[in-house]
Structures are given as C-alpha cells and as structure tokens.
Structure 1
Amino acid sequence: MSTSRALARGLLLALGVLGTLASASAPAQPRLVAAAQPGVVETGSAAYRFERFTLPAREAGRTYDVVVAIPRRAAPEGGFPLVTLLDGGAAIEAIDEALLRRLETGATPPVLVAVGYVGQPRFDVKARAFDYTPAPARHPQAPLVDDQGRPGGGAARFLALIGTRIVPRVATMAPIDPTRETLWGHSYGGLFVLYAATRQHVPFATFVAADPALWWNYGSFLKDPKRVRKAPDGGPRAITVVRGEGGAHRGGRPGAAQATALAKGPHPDMRGSVAPEAAVTLARQLADQGAHVTLTRCTGQGHGAMFALSLRAALIAAAGAAPDPAAPECGAEAIASAEPE
C-alpha cells in the first residue's frame, strides 16, 4: 500500500470519530477578526516550536504570512511528514496545545505550514478569492469573479509559489519526507486543493478538500478536463473530499437568510449553479484518472463546522495518532481506488 493511500485511510478513521467535535450551528459566514485570547503561537508549546516568515509576492500585490510548527522530538530517519494549511491565520487559531501534544506523540508527527496573509489575522476574503480559484482552461481570458464580484483565477500562480518558494524554504528548517506531504483547504481552499491534485510538478501526495466551492465561476472547474499524476513515491495520489451539509457551498440553493445576503452580489445564482451531487461525479472522474479517492459526508455538520473538523482529522491522520473514541458522525459515502484491494 502506498504512503498516500495509508494516510487517506487514517484520515477516514479520524473523521469518523471527530464528527462530534464540530457544531452544526457554526456560522456559514467566517469570522474575520482574531480571537481575543492569544493563541498557541504566542503562548508557546511544549510539543512544537514555531518559526515565522513573510513572503512578498510583487506580482500578486500582497505579502504572505507563513507560520511553521516543528515537532520538538527528533525527526525520523526519512524526515517529518509535512501538512500545508491554507487560510493559515484561521488554521493556526484552530490548533491548540492539546492537539499539538497528540500530534507530537503520534507515530509520525508532521511539520505544519500555515499559509496566511499579512495584516489579516484569519481570512483575507479578497486575496483568497483570487489565489484559491483556477482560471478555466477553455476560456482563460474571460473576466473571472465570484458571486460577490471578487476577482479570481490566480490558483496557478499561487500553487507555483507554494511549490517553489514556501515548501523548499520550510525544508531548510526541518528534515521533510518528500513522499508524505499533504495539502489541506476548506471551501475556496478546498477547490484549490482539487485543482492542485490535477496539476503536474506538485510536491504533495495527499490532498484533503473540505466542502470545496465547486460552484465557483458557475462550476468551471468541473467542466475542465482532469489529469491526475502520480504521487512522489510512485503510487497514486490520495484525494479525500469531505463535505458537510452546507448546501450553498457544495451545490444547491442556499437557505432563505443566506440567499437574501448573497442576492446583494452581482452573481446571486452562482452558488446554485451546480448539482448537489457534483462532488460524487468529480470523485469518479478523479478516480478514473488514477487517483485513490475517498468521498466522505459528515451528517449534521454545517459548512463552517467543517473547517476545524476536517483540519484536525487531516493532522491526526498525518501524525498516525489514535483518534479519541466517540460516536461516528462522518462516513464513507463513496470510495474509488486506483489500486487493487
């Protein structure tokens, strides 16, 4: 069994017992300001040490804030696994000392790389709308905006920045196992993860897309041809799509309150432009292209709750840590494998 497929199975197990940690009542609209209390980066950790650097990107007109969390224990012979987290400010805020201790005592504690934006403690809604969304292959020159009129289409440039500038720099800070690198993202970040899984020259073997915004640009990513390459260890890439019950984010019409808010934007119908089962169709396409694909639904969990739930599960799986016993809330909806059982 390939390393990436083993991580995917670990993620499914972690999701099964983490479902009760998230609240279905979490707000659909993200909180943009930082928490009032200092987080683990500021207070310090007995399990991990932190390094931080900023990375100007003149062509994008912004500066990235990158937080790197490195286990305090000695690295294994082949190096640490690596997990790159999008929406880095919010991701770091969702990580506490208890989780870091679980990761550090796991079989393979990962190095964490949280990629955020300088000046935006949690979410930079304009920057992420551009960085995380791919330009359609068939109409690359068309103006690209989301349902609120925010420009998009910068995923290729952002993916190149991660692969050529961020991950190599992190590899100078700690020994990294190049066959055990994971990319995680939620919503627009989930769409970016799926885009990255179909690109060449990507360092990641495992991809975790939580409630991906497949509706973006009227589902243009779903219409582009897919080609999934091999993982760095020569096996199939492992792609996990985790979805909750946030209908407006995975296809289908939003609820009345959210529909009223979205109607103020220039493209109010965009979020309902793809079929509710678009993720299932996409999973089959990716499996046909040679990936090991796991599709998981978390019953009773809203779009906002899926952020922390899927992030924790991805980290626990990468660490090879045993999940806490709890009643399962997430289950495999469909599994398609490029490898024989």
Structure 2
Amino acid sequence: MDRQRRRLSQALLAAAGLLVLPGTAAARPDMTRTMGTTLADTGVPGYRFESRVFPGSEGRRRHRVWLAIPDRTPPPAGFPALYLLDGNAVLSRLRPEWLTALDEATPPVLVMIGYDTDLLFDGEARHYDYTPAPEGQASVRDARRPQREGGGAAAFIERIESTITPWVASRTQVDPNRKALWGHSFGGLFTLFTLCTRPRAFRIYLPVSPSLGWADNLLQHSLDHLAAQPPERNTAVWICRGDEEVRITKVMNAEQIQQRKNNGNTAFRLFADNLDRIPRVEVHRRLYPGLGHGDMFSAALPEALRIVAGLAPDPAWS
C-alpha cells in the first residue's frame, strides 16, 4: 500500500475521532438491556431455531450460538450461511418480514454467535474477542476504556473455525462457497481482520461501521498483509457505515462536528478504495444517509440477509 495514502488515512481517522471507538456517546448501545422475547421463542414460518452453549476458555465467558435453519430441503450444494457477531442483539432485532422476504431466493442458515447471557451486548467479552493485538503482543488496552482487555481476535477466529463451524455442519448442509461473516463496530473490525488474515474462512465479508483505527491503525497493517498475499479465489466485501457517524466531545462546535463527519466518511472511502485494489477482492460500499453509529446495527441487517440469499442489493451500493 502506498505510504502517502496510508498516512492520509491515519490522519483522517485521527481527525474524525476514529482511532478509538466511533460514534457519539448517545449512539452507543445500552449495555444493560436484555434480549426479551425473540423469534427463537415465538417461531417464524420457514425457519426452525436451535442453540448451543460452548464452554469458555481461560476464564472467558461462554459463547452461545443460535442457529436459524431454513425449514426446507437444502439445495444440492447446501444452504448459504451467514455468521453474525453480537448474536444476542441480532436475534433480538431479527424481524419475521426480513426472513419471509428471502423465500424469493435461497434463504441462508443464520449462525448468530453471542454469549451465554440475557444481555444484548456483553461489553467486556466482545471487546476481547473482536479486537486484534499488534504482532508480538498478547493483549492491548483501549486508552478510553483501560479496564477492558482487547487482543483476542486471532483466538476467536480459531474458535469459530475449529469449534463452531463443525457444529453448524453437523446440524445442516452448508455451501462452503456461500459462507458470509457480518459484524458491526468492533464486529466490523473483526470481520475485516478475518478477511486480512484468513481470507479463505468466508467467501463474503460484511463489515458494518468498522472501527478502522483500532490500536494505532493496526488494520492498515493487516491490509498490507492481504495485499502481499491476496485471496486465492474471488472474495466479496460489502462495507458500509452511516454518514452521520462521529464521536462528539462537549467542547466541539457545529463546524467541528461536521468536519469530523466529513473526515470519517473520507477515511471510510479511502479504506474501501485501498481494499478494492487488492487482486480478487471485489468491494461494494455504501454510506447510509442520516444514520449514526448505533443506528447502523439494525439498518444493515436486512440488507445483509438479502445479499447472502442471492437477492438483488439496494441500488445505493456502489
């Protein structure tokens, strides 16, 4: 990757307040909310649900994975499969109409990877699982939340591939050429880190509002690694964010807020452009008008379902 382009990207990330957690304080998810009644409880025509709890390791919280399996005979190659991070929140926000709309194509298996808790989000657990550590470091701390340990992304990728994926394969037939990974915020960071370090793990990557500047722009170095060793097969990336995403401080005026928004959107476009230059990586991008960081979680879900099912995407994608 061109050094000048990398410096520009890092400068824009810093100016936009994206070197830590993106989004305004008001847009952050409420970590005290619980899941409530979900489609796994009520059922929905066309899908059946099951779940399993996977024991934690090294004192980490146990993962709970929910499967939503199309209630039909699998196609000869198997169902598409959409792996979704923050599975508790995904299941809580899943809507029947989103699933019934997929009948026009090939409904995917939904693999909702969450935690063994009734909370929508487990802040400490996802902070560790979804964030990578710089090479040679076992962990990393966010300056804004030093009480939370990060750096477990590589181990979490291994857990998904070695433990969760074989269980999914034991429950239904999945097409390995139509496996997709979706994640929001730190989950979007994890999705891109997985693409850069294990591009064969999935065929489609859907990072939403990714935390591009984590750990002093570590993701840019991962992108360099992918550029040096491109995927062996064509890989699709659908990357998106809201055009109102910004981290606001009390001392900022309206002009400074707008400048941060502009810088963040420019950094997003620049990252997508750099990714698109890598051989066999096909990048689709979208800015959702009027949406902030927290809004994007629910806004991006139905479109991800459609894309993985093989339905035509919204024309707003480029």
Match of 2:17 in 1: none
Q: Structure 1-normalised TM-score?
A: 0.75
Q: 1:27 to 1:101 in 2, by over 3 A?
A: farther
* SS of structure 2 residue aligned to 1:241: strand
Match of 2:308 in 1: 318
Q: Provide, for residues 189-232 of structure 1, a one-character-per-residue CA deviation record: whole Å limited to 9, x for no partner.
A: 0000000001237420000000001122232222443316666x
Matches for 1:269-280 after TM superposition, within 5 Å: 277-280=266-269
Which ranges of structure 1 fall in alignment gaps of 5 or more residues? Answer: 1-24, 249-253, 260-270, 333-341
Which of these residues, 287, 293, 296, is aligned with residue 286 of structure 2?
A: 296
Q: Alpha-carbon deviation of 1:100?
A: 1.7
Q: 1:146 to 1:192 in 2, by over 3 A?
A: farther
Q: Structure 2-normalised TM-score?
A: 0.80
Q: 1:26 to 1:41 in 2, by over 3 A?
A: farther
Which of these residues, 141, 145, 167, is aligned with residue 144 of structure 1?
A: 141
Which of these residues, 104, 108, 111, is aligned with residue 109 of structure 2?
A: 111
- The answer as to whether partners of 1:298 and 1:331 remain within 8 angstroms in 2 is no
Q: 1:230 to 1:141 in 2, by over 3 A?
A: closer
* SS of structure 1 residue aligned to 2:197: coil
* SS of structure 2 residue aligned to 1:313: helix
| Higher relative contact order (Cα pairs below 8 Å, separated by 6+ residues) | 1
Match of 2:174 in 1: 176
Match of 1:286 in 2: 275
Q: 1:146 to 1:209 in 2, by over 3 A?
A: farther
Match of 2:6 in 1: none
Q: 1:214 to 1:230 in 2, by over 3 A?
A: closer
Distance 2:207 2:106 in 1: 22
Match of 2:248 in 1: 255
Aligned partner of 1:72: which letter?
Answer: D
Which ranges of structure 2 fall in alignment gaps of 5 or more residues? Answer: 1-23, 253-259
Q: 1:93 to 1:258 in 2, by over 3 A?
A: farther
Matches for 1:189-204 after TM superposition, within 5 Å: 189-200=187-198, 202-204=200-202
Do structure 1's residue 241 and structure 2's residue 252 form an aligned pair?
no
* SS of structure 2 residue aligned to 1:151: strand
Do structure 1's residue 135 and structure 2's residue 133 form an aligned pair?
yes
Q: 1:42 to 1:275 in 2, by over 3 A?
A: closer
- The answer as to whether partners of 1:84 and 1:182 remain within 8 angstroms in 2 is yes
Matches for 1:1-341 after TM superposition, within 5 Å: 27-32=26-31, 33-36=33-36, 38-59=37-58, 61-103=60-102, 105-137=103-135, 140=137, 143-145=140-142, 147-149=144-146, 150-200=148-198, 202-224=200-222, 225-227=224-226, 235-248=233-246, 254-256=247-249, 277-290=266-279, 291-321=281-311, 330-332=316-318
- The answer as to whether partners of 1:130 and 1:152 remain within 8 angstroms in 2 is yes
Q: Provide, for residues 28-82 of structure 1, a one-character-per-residue CA deviation record: whole Å limited to 9, x for no partner.
A: 111331255x111111122100010001131352200100000001111110000
* SS of structure 2 residue aligned to 1:196: helix
* SS of structure 1 residue aligned to 2:171: coil
* SS of structure 2 residue aligned to 1:119: coil
Match of 2:10 in 1: none
Aligned partner of 2:141: which letter?
Answer: L
Aligned partner of 1:298: which letter?
Answer: Y
Identity level (%): 35
* SS of structure 1 residue aligned to 2:192: helix
Distance 1:199 1:60 in 2: 26
- The answer as to whether partners of 1:45 and 1:97 remain within 8 angstroms in 2 is yes
Distance 1:77 1:296 in 2: 33
- The answer as to whether partners of 1:69 and 1:111 remain within 8 angstroms in 2 is yes
